[in-house]
Amino acid sequence: MMTPAQRWGAALRAAQEARGVPTRALAEATGLGASLISQLRRGRQVPMMDTAHRIAEALVDPGLEMLAARLRTKRCAVCGRDYVESHRGGYAQLWCSWPCEWTGRYRRRAGIAGSDRVARAALWQGLAGRRQALIDLMCRRCEPTGTCKDAGCPLRPASPFALVRGGPVPIAERGATRRVRRPVRAA
């Protein structure tokens, strides 16, 4: 049985032979190194999608690119969706998106097993708890007495403190009907 890399290598050799394109000419046409083309021909690795695209374009064979996409299609370890692997940063990609990556990494660190919903709920609960703790800390620094006096504070919707009447009121809440009386100056 052939590995995915060997299958792609066989398809590349067949396409090159059918069109009579030698390895060096293909390397020049694609801007890739002859050694990389040679490794791909021998089935050492499945090419990255951009490399497969360049080779397929040079050989006028879209089947090569489709084969590479099919061979690089993986199943997400968290949600189970199929995705085309892209090897970001030189390591094997296990997840289809960053939320799944965060969930997967959280699961590994926390040792959480079970359904995807349970793991995601635990992750977002943890993040929400951290967010609320930061808001509490910031509010305590601003108002050490434990009461909020600024209704215009951007943290007001999430603040754990009660709003004390008589504090500064933001301009937007003052209302347009209220008139400001200015003292008349004598001339």
3-state SS class at 86: coil
pLDDT tens profile 25-47: 999 999 999 999 999 999 998 89
Instruction: Report how far residue 17's alpha carbon sits from residue 33's, in angstroms, rounded to the nearest whole number.
Output: 19
Residue-range domains of the chain with CATH: 4-71 (1.10.260.40), 75-131 (no CATH), 144-173 (no CATH)
pLDDT tens profile 99-137: 888 888 887 777 765 555 555 666 666 666 666 666 666
Four-point Cα dihedral 164, 170, 175, 179, nearest 10: 100
pTM: 0.54
Rounded mean pLDDT, 81-104: 78
- The more confident residue out of 7 and 141 is 7
Helices (H) and strands (E) in the chain, counts: 8, 4
- pLDDT (0 to 100) of residue 185: 60
- pLDDT (0 to 100) of residue 97: 84
Confidence of residue 24 (pLDDT cuts 50, 70, 90): very high
